[in-house]
Amino acid sequence: MNLQQAKDIPITWFYSDVLGLRGKRSANDILYSSPFRDDGQPSYSVSINKNISYDFATGESRDLVGSVQSYYKLQSVSDALRKLSALTVDSKPKNSAYYLQSVESDKNHNYKNNGKDEGKRVRISKDDNIYNEARIVEAKDLYYYPLKNYIKDIRKVNVEMAGIYLKEVHYKLANNPKTYFGLGMENMSGGYEISMYNTKEKKTFKTAIGSKDITFIKGKDDGSKIILIFEGRFDFLSLLEKEGIQRFNEDVIILNSISCYKRATDFIQTSNKYSEAHLYLDNDDEGKKTFAKIQKSLIPKEQNRAVSNKVDSGMSSIGDILKFTYGVRVVDKSDLYSGYKDLNDWWVNK
C-alpha cells in the first residue's frame, strides 16, 4: 500500500472498526474518547470532509497513516503503511457515509454549518446566502501591498505579526476566469475566512470559502486553563498588538461569525480543559446576546433559572464571573474597549 491509497481510506474506519471506539456525531465530525491518552469526556474529533483527526486537548492533528503510526508506536511511515495494509485484510473499510450514519447524532448541536460542501463561497451576513462554487488557487504569505497597507493603515496592526496568522488567498469562482484575492485565515473545518477592503467605498467585505467554522489557535502555555474568545480576527490581532507579543500564553478561539458561538461552546465542553473563558465580543446588542448565549451554554440547564433570577434581581450582572459544573468561569472583557464598537475600533481610535 502507498500513501495515495491510504488517503482514499476513511480515517473513521480505523477509529470505529479497528479500534472499536464509539463516537458521537457533531455536524460533519465524529467525536471519540482519545485512544492516545486518558479521556473521560470525548474530545478527539475526526473530520469526515478532511479525513483527519484533531485532539482538542493537545492540539495534535493526524491523518490515517499518522494515526496508525502513533497508536502502534511504529518507527516510520513505511512501517505504518505495512501495518495499515495488514489491517485492511482483517477489516475491509466502508465509505465515509456509512460511519457518519452509524454514530449517534448530537441532538443538542444546533450549529449551522453554512458551507455544506467544500468549495462553496459563503458570505458572512445575517441571511447567510450561499454564492457560487469557488476554488482556492493559492494560499501564500502576505505579499500584495494593498493588503499589507490595509492591515497597517486601516487596522493599525503590525504586518509581520499579522502574517503569522493571515494568508494571502487567491481563488476563482465557477464559470469565471478572473482570480480574486483577499486576507484569509483558516478555520477548523479547513475553510478560509476571507476579507477584502474596497478603497473606493471604504468598506470591508467578508466571505468564506468552504465550511464556516471557528478558528482555534493554540497558546504557548500547555498548562493554561484560560481560553480567549474573540469575535473577529482583527480583535485578536489588536490585543496582541496592545500586549506587544506575537502569541498568547492562552489558547484562542476566533468565532469568525457570532452564528458560530455554539461551535465554540461545544469545543470548550468537549475539551474538558478550561476553567475560564474570557470573551472579547462587539459592544452591540448582538455581542451582548451572544455573550449571554455562551454563558448559558456553559451552565447546566438546572442552574439557568437560578442565574437568570440573580441577574433580574440585581444580585449578579451579566459580566460576573461564574463557575459551575463544567468548571468554566465566563468573563466579559468588553470594559477594555467600552464606548467603541469592538476591540479593533478601540485600538484604531484610542
Instruction: Tell me which residues of the chain have a pLDDT lower than 50.
Output: 98-132, 301-305, 311, 315-326
Condensed to tens digits (0 to 9), the pLDDT of residues 109-141 reads: 332 333 333 333 333 223 333 334 677 888 889
**Cα angle vertex 42, ends 225, 112, to 5°?**
90
Strand arrangement of the beta sheet that strand 104-105 belongs to: 61-62, 52-55, 44-47, 29-32, 24-26, 104-105
Within the chain, all domains assigned CATH 3.90.580.10 are found at 3-105
Give the SS3 label for residue 99: helix
- The pLDDT value recorded for residue 247 is 95
Superfamily for the 3-105 domain:
Zinc finger, CHC2-typedomain (3.90.580.10)
- Using alpha carbons, list the distances in angstroms from residue 49 to 12, 29, 100, 334: 11, 8, 11, 36
Q: Is the CATH number of domain 215-349 3.40.1360.10?
A: yes
The span from the CA of 163 to the CA of 166, in Å, is 5
Within the chain, all domains assigned CATH 3.40.1360.10 are found at 215-349
Going by C-alpha positions, the residue among 250, 247, 244, 249 that lies closest to residue 228 is 250
Please state the pTM of the whole predicted model: 0.59
